[in-house]
Amino acid sequence: MCGIFGVSTPKKDQILEDVYLGLYALQHRGQESAGIAWIDDEAHLQIQKGMGLVHAALNQEKLAKEKTTCAIGHVRYVTAGKSSLINAQPLHASYSKGHVAIAHNGNITNAEGLKRDLESRGAIFQSATDTEVILHLMAHEQNLSPIDALIKSLSKLRGAFSIVALIEGSLVAARDPWGFRPLTIGKRDGIFYVASESCALDIVKASYVRDVRPGEIIIINEGNIKSLNIDTKATRRFRCSFEYVYLARPDSDIDGHSVYDVRLKLGQKLAKTCPCPQGELVLGMPDSGTIGALGYAFTSKLPFEMAIVRNRYVGRTFIQPTRRVRELGVQIKLNPIDNLIRDKKIVVVDDSIIRGTTSKIALRFLREAGAKEIHLRIASPPVKFPCIYGIDTPTSSDLAAAKMDVETLKKHIGADSLCFLDIEDLIGSIDLPEIELCTACFSGNYMEE
């Protein structure tokens, strides 16, 4: 998962701070590195990139002073290629047709095959990212203009790609024909914005225009927006359902559906299919389980308490690279309020179980805090299959629900009962037809290549 952001203004302006702020709002989508590319006074590409969080990676003061008409930005979370500055985005290239910068969210599933083919034709890759394939594909289209070369290159890709690019002074944005990763358009005072999530439009006070449609390429220049299509036939869509479950911020809307509302519904449906008549109190695993827990408590008419407190200054545990740090991370991150829990039969709601470490450790400290019974309710189906579209769940051997059935998992985690949401209820809560959604990590139904 990564976050991307782009701006295009008809007259030169200090818009790099907007990109900085947009990336800040998208920080949850990637914490490894951040970068911004823009076009300077001499029509040259300028790039600032760094490792770590946005504030550490980028120089806000310097960026705020620059004036430009067009800029893109990226926050990276490693899915393809190692964590190092050479893989940080935006990537850029200068070739015979000019300068190009590109930032990408998603995972191109046929990248390896394309890369081998390009290498056999003389291409030398600098980074280990699948994104660089797009630049090399473009460079091999010598007879086409850079924008046409991009359009043709995108038609060769399979899998997930939401991109923003700077080409010939225009801001170009595109979303793969299956619609895996979100991408939305906003506008303020004639300035156009493109962002992975609508929460990044809010911070720059841009109003929502619409989402980029699956398979659409938009070219924004001097206040005009032009829409084209990627020449790939997609028989159905694969919008990522996990964005609604966990990945996206709850204050974002994706494809017209509020992430908050979906999470609330997931909890409400969970209360119907996985009731807990003996429960006395509902609590959510912060922050990701909180909204689902609210929905669960509302429907089951049980009291809701914020009985686990989260240290706000610790990042998401799954971003930490090793198991040891991940486990420690949970303890650093979460702390129960013993008085609320002691001698109670509690219902704990979380959004998902991936490796099973968070719930196992959390349930241990909830027992130590004196909980009499702990009933774990998960507001999504069991994650049994790896995501190959850009989310870090690499192999089935890392996925708790792939290794164990629900009963074994319940014992492993140490819960008195464990119950997951059905896939049908996940789809019903998002309120999109099944053929519009990807549920591969739950169902194993991957896209046919």
Task: Give the footprint of ligand AMP on this chain (CB under 6 A).
Answer: 246, 288, 317-318, 350-359, 391-393
CA–CA gap between residue 360 and residue 301 (Å, rounded): 27
- Of the candidate residues 118, 276, 302, 440, the single one contacting ligand SF4 (CB under 6 A): 440
The one of ligand SF4, ligand AMP, none whose footprint includes residue 389, by CB under 5 to 8 A per kind, is ligand SF4
- Of the candidate residues 391, 415, 421, 430, the single one contacting ligand SF4 (CB under 6 A): 391
Q: Does 420 bind ligand SF4 (CB under 6 A)?
A: no
The one of ligand SF4, ligand AMP, none whose footprint includes residue 193, by CB under 5 to 8 A per kind, is none
Q: Looking at 2, 199, 276, 387, which residue is catalytic?
A: 2
Q: CA dist 282 to 31, 161, 412, 421, Å?
A: 31, 38, 22, 16
Residues that bind ligand SF4 (rule: CB under 6 A) add up to a total of: 11
What lies within 8 Å, CB to CB, of 304 at 6+ separation is: 281, 282, 283, 284, 293, 294, 297, 298
Residue among 86, 204, 77, 95 nearest 142 (CA) = 95
Helical H segments across 71-188, by residue range = 111-120, 132-139, 146-154
Render the burial of 406-415: b for 16+ CB within 10 Å, e for the rest.
eeebbeebbb
Report the DSSP beta bridge partners of residue 417.
Answer: 375
- Of the candidate residues 38, 161, 193, 242, the single one contacting ligand SF4 (CB under 6 A): 242
Looking at the Cβ atoms of 223 and 444, the one nearer to ligand SF4 is: 444
Looking at the Cβ atoms of 204 and 426, the one nearer to ligand SF4 is: 426
Q: Binding marks (x or -) toward ligand SF4, 186..225, rule CB under 6 A? A: ----------------------------------------
Torsion angles phi and psi, residue 22, rounded to 5: -60, -45
- Of the candidate residues 23, 201, 240, 374, the single one contacting ligand SF4 (CB under 6 A): 240
What lies within 8 Å, CB to CB, of 173 at 6+ separation is: 6, 162, 163, 164, 165, 183, 185, 194, 212, 217, 218, 220
Residue among 155, 269, 171 nearest 223 (CA) = 171
Q: How far is the CB of 439 from ligand SF4 (least distance, A)?
A: 6
- Of the candidate residues 69, 241, 252, 317, the single one contacting ligand SF4 (CB under 6 A): 241
Q: Is 438 a catalytic residue?
A: no
Q: CA dist 300 to 15, 271, 306, Å?
A: 48, 6, 17
Looking at the Cβ atoms of 20 and 442, the one nearer to ligand SF4 is: 442
Report the DSSP beta bridge partners of residue 220.
Answer: 171, 225
CA–CA gap between residue 239 and residue 439 (Å, rounded): 9
Looking at the Cβ atoms of 150 and 283, the one nearer to ligand AMP is: 283
The one of ligand AMP, ligand SF4, none whose footprint includes residue 439, by CB under 5 to 8 A per kind, is ligand SF4
The one of ligand AMP, ligand SF4, none whose footprint includes residue 354, by CB under 5 to 8 A per kind, is ligand AMP
Distance of CA 347 to the CA centre of its chain: 28
Looking at the Cβ atoms of 246 and 304, the one nearer to ligand AMP is: 246
Looking at the Cβ atoms of 187 and 310, the one nearer to ligand AMP is: 310
Residue among 23, 446, 128, 121 nearest 137 (CA) = 121
- Of the candidate residues 20, 77, 161, 180, the single one contacting ligand SF4 (CB under 6 A): 180
The one of ligand AMP, ligand SF4, none whose footprint includes residue 127, by CB under 5 to 8 A per kind, is none
Q: Which helix (H) or strand (E) holds 413?
A: helix 406-413
CA–CA gap between residue 105 and residue 61 (Å, rounded): 27
Q: How far is the CB of 192 from ligand SF4 (least distance, A)?
A: 27
In the complex, residue closest to ligand AMP by CB: 318
Which residues have a catalytic role annotated? Answer: 2
Query: Under the rule (CB under 6 A), what is the footprint of ligand SF4?
Result: 180, 240-242, 387, 389, 391, 438-441
